[in-house]
Amino acid sequence: MWADHFDGPLEDVFDLQDKVAVSVAGVIEAALQAAEIRRTADRPTNDLTAYDLYLRALATINSQTRERNLKALGLLNQAIAIDPHYGPALAWAAHCHMRLNINGWTDEPETARRKAVDLARQALQVGGNDPDVLANAPFVLARFGEDIGSMMALLDGALALNPSFALGWVRSGLLRMWAGQPDTAIEHVQTSLRLSPRERQGTPFDAIGHVYFFKRQFDEAAANLLLAIQHDPGFPIPYRALAACYAHMGRLEEARGIVARLRAITPEVVPNLSYLRDPEHRELLLSGLRLAAGETE
């Protein structure tokens, strides 16, 4: 499951030992979870516990389409019905409702927003020391306007509990990007990729693409956003950033082609960007999206 090598001076052998341990744990954690998901998928559906339902939901949620998001949410709701205090299931259910809201996949976006926030707060109340909860619940709350400094502190707690938590590093990187800290954001996402190079956790290429976009390094942004789309073609967010990126590069025909592909996934081309705390970042993305979509204001 793991192969790598490390070089260092003998006098730093204990630091080297720590680096090896963190790296091995980062790879093995994702591989073991994938094995557990496969084991659960092979079990008959009439023999399911809350944990099995949770694992089935994780297997479904990795591909971001409306149908798979709703399927995952249904499985998580079953797990929560069995165990109402199941923190990770509550946190992922909050994440599913967040997706319905931000991806334009519901006719009742405000209802989805309220459910996402309520479930995230419940998850923190019942599972505040679980790294999965501390990665997902603050992510949802920050997306909907909670104080981002406090949410980053909770995510820092998840990483203190589990420094090998690849998904936690992606979530942390995204929050830093939303907070207007692109250099820290890319450092955290790259840490995730080093820890889990095979089982990629979260949306690392989308996050890296956004960071380069906000740094106005549009060539690098486009390359990573294309990787994000290739990895998950049903995920709307990288399409928006890529369309804006092409627009700012003067590649309007390609930008409009990306918008056409985006419209096949969601009707919401220009979303609410209030989660971006830096006004310059908001304006850069908004102006590029409007140009790509042919909007004048």
Long-range Cβ pairs for the range 249-254 (8 Å, 24+)? 249/218, 249/222, 252/291, 252/292
pLDDT confidence of residue 46:
46
pLDDT confidence of residue 233:
92
pLDDT confidence of residue 37:
53
What's the rounded Cα separation, in Å, for the pair 217 and 227? 16
What's the rounded Cα separation, in Å, for the pair 259 and 269? 7
What's the rounded Cα separation, in Å, for the pair 120 and 114? 10
* CA proximity to 163, closest of 16, 4, 23: 23
What's the rounded Cα separation, in Å, for the pair 248 and 233? 23
Tracing tokens 């960071």 back to the chain, one arrives at 211
Are the C-beta atoms of residues 238 and 206 closer than 8 Å to each other?
yes
pLDDT confidence of residue 42:
46
Domains in the chain, CATH or no CATH each:
13-198 (1.25.40.10), 203-297 (1.25.40.10)
Are the C-beta atoms of residues 205 and 230 closer than 8 Å to each other?
no
- Exposure b/e, 256-284, CB count within 10 A at least 16 = b: bebbeebeebbebbbbebebbbeeebbeb
**Each residue's pLDDT expressed in tens, for the chain with a length of 297 residues:** 455 666 667 666 666 666 666 666 555 665 565 555 555 444 444 446 888 899 899 888 877 789 999 999 999 999 999 999 999 999 999 999 999 999 989 999 999 999 999 999 999 999 878 888 999 999 999 999 999 999 999 999 999 988 888 899 999 999 999 999 999 999 999 999 888 776 566 689 999 999 999 999 999 999 999 999 998 899 999 999 999 999 999 999 999 999 999 999 999 999 999 999 999 999 999 999 999 998 744
To which H or E segment does residue 115 belong?
helix 109-127
